[in-house]
Structures are given as structure tokens and as C-alpha cells.
Amino acid sequence: MTNVLRKIYVALIFIFLYAPIGTLIVLSFNASKSRAKWGGFTFKWYAELFQNEAIMQALTNTILLAVLSSVIATIIGTVAAIAINKMNRTGRTIWMGVTNIPMLNAEIVTGISLMLLFITVGMRFGFVTILLSHITFNIPYVILSVMPRLKQLNPSTYEAALDLGAPPLKAFFKVVLPDLAPGIFSGLLMAFTMSLDDFIITHFTKGPGVDTLSTKIYSEVRKGIKPEMYALSTLIFVSVLILLLLVNRTPKDKSKNKV
């Protein structure tokens, strides 16, 4: 009995979390332009999506930002995590504290603080300012997911590689890096997702004429969201879902780092 109740509870929470997503998928097939009315089933929006230059441009920007910011953040963050891990206690406390600032601070404060910085140094607001901001809020995710892996690392393996004559750099790439890989990968994935879904910080650091999907959607809220946007989100969501299902079907690898 309690078991059934538990399952019902889990199911209800999942319905709560996924109801809006289901709604958006349904809306993407809605022939009526209005959100509130069902006008019959159509694939029209999927066809029109690829003709819509503004949405395609926003999509390109979003993906470009997510790829660049997550890769750069992963490189800086991984190197930083290794360095911070080797620091003395004080250094570690200070830099982990700094790392936690963007994580714990309100996004609106991070957004306006970066906006004030870019205004003060006279930077033109556009793609570059958004990219710098995304890298900034992505680095902590990488550091925080690489750090636990570093702590589990057995230093003797690296020393053994050196003893066996491997040059330090080779020893690092052959011995240390594979051990860190799951942490680095989950940091990268986290950073990519965060960049993709970000609205608030982009809102404050973007310039006129440059839009990501989030800011484009925000500008359409008053006029009404174009149904093509639902079609695009459904496509993105379904492809990620399929990707996840495929990944889960491949044989399990060893203990993965939890995000």
C-alpha cells in the first residue's frame, strides 16, 4: 500500500515538472496561432521554422555561445581546479569562495554587475559581452564538478608514471586526465546546458540586434510567441531525449561523477 502511494507521489511530481513541457509539445502541432485554442493538428510550424531567419539566427547565436562558453569554461575551469587543489589551505578557501560567488549570488546581481563593468570599460554590447558573461558563470560549474574527482585521485599513479620514465606532460595526459574525464565531462555538459537555458544574465549583457533564443522569446511575450518557437523547442527537447535514451542503452561505464 505505502509502495503504491509512493509511486503515485513520484508520478505526481513528475507530472508537475513535465506538464508544461508536454503543453509546449502539443502547442507545436496546434494549427491555431493562439495558445488558448486547439485548431487541429498540423506540421506547418515545423516547415515554417526553417524559413524564419530571425529564429534561425537566434538559434545559431545560442548554440555558438553554448559551445564556445562551455568549452572555454571547461579548459579554464579544469586547469583552475587542478591549481586550486594544490594550493595551501588559505588559497584554497579564498578561491573556492570566489568560485561560489556566481553560484550563490542572485543572477540579476551578476547580470547588472557585468553590465556595469562593460559600460565602464566602454565595450560595445553584443555577442562578445554575452560570451564573456557566459564563460564567467560557467567556470564554477566546471570547477565544482572536477574538484571531487581530484580529491579522489591517487597521486601515486602519476608518480608511478614519472618513475617509469614518462615526461610530466605525458604522464598527466595518460594518467591524470582519464581519471578526471567524467568530472570534466559532467562539468562541460552542465555548463553547456546552463548557457543554453540562460536568460537573465544574457538579458543584461546583450546589445541591440543580437538575440539568443531566450531573449527572442522574451521580446515576443507581449505580441504572442510565434508557434515556430514551440516547434523548435520540441525539436531540441526530443533530440536530447533520444540522445539520452541512446546513451543509456550503451553498456554502463564505471561509476560516473554525479552532477
Partner 1 sequence: MKNKKLNSLMASPYILWSIAFIIIPLIMVFYYGLTDKDGAFTLENITAITAPEHIKALSIALLLSLISTVICLLLAYPLAMILANMKGNQDKLIVLIFILPMWMNFLLRTLAWQTLLEKSGVINQVLEFLHLPALEIINTPYAIILGMVYNFLPFMILPIYNVLCKIDPNVINAAKDLGANNFMTFIKITLPLSIPGIISGITMVFVPALTTFIISNLLGGSKILLIGNVIEQEFLQANNWHLGSGLSMVLMIFIVISMIVTAIFDKDGEGSAL
Residues 195-224 touching partner 1, rule: CB under 8 A, are 196-197, 199-200, 203-204, 213-214, 217-218, 221
Q: How far is the CB of 243 from partner 1 (least distance, A)?
A: 10
Per DSSP, helices labelled H in the chain are: 2-27, 44-49, 53-86, 89-104, 107-120, 127-152, 155-163, 168-171, 177-197, 200-205, 213-220, 227-249
Candidates 127, 130, 142; CA nearest to 70 is: 142
- Return the number of the residue (68 or 76) whose C-beta is nearest partner 1: 76
Distance CA 222, CA 216 (A): 11
- Cβ-count burial 132-149 (b if 16+ within 10 Å, e if not): bbbbbbbbbbbbbbbbeb
Q: How far is the CB of 168 from partner 1 (least distance, A)?
A: 9
Question: Between residue 224 and residue 253, which ones bind partner 1 under the rule CB under 8 A?
Answer: 225, 229-230, 233, 236-237, 240-241, 244, 248, 252
Number of residues that bind partner 1 (CB under 8 A): 83
User: How far is the CA of 98 from the CAs of 13, 74, 91, 198, in angstroms?
Assistant: 35, 17, 11, 21
Indicate which single residue of 61, 69, 145, 202 sits in contact with partner 1 (rule: CB under 8 A).
Answer: 145
Q: Grid cell 559532467 — which residue? A: 186
Asked whether position 160 contacts partner 1 by CB under 8 A, the answer is no
Question: Between residue 90 and residue 119, which ones bind partner 1 under the rule CB under 8 A?
Answer: 95, 98-99, 101-102, 104-110, 112-117, 119
- Return the number of the residue (87 or 160) whose C-beta is nearest partner 1: 87
Q: How far is the CB of 89 from partner 1 (least distance, A)?
A: 14
Q: How far is the CB of 207 from partner 1 (least distance, A)?
A: 12
Q: Is the dihedral of CA 25, 249, 64, 69 positive or negative?
A: positive
Which span sits near partner 1 by CB under 8 A: 5-13, 42-50, 149-157, 159-167? 5-13
Q: How many CB atoms lie within 10 A of CB 234?
A: 20
3-state class of 41 per DSSP?
strand
**Three cell numbers, residue 201:** 544574465
- Return the number of the residue (1 or 104) whose C-beta is nearest partner 1: 104
Question: Between residue 9 and residue 48, which ones bind partner 1 under the rule CB under 8 A?
Answer: 9-10, 13-14, 16-21, 23-24, 27, 35-36
- Return the number of the residue (171 or 217) whose C-beta is nearest partner 1: 217
Q: How far is the CB of 252 from partner 1 (least distance, A)?
A: 8
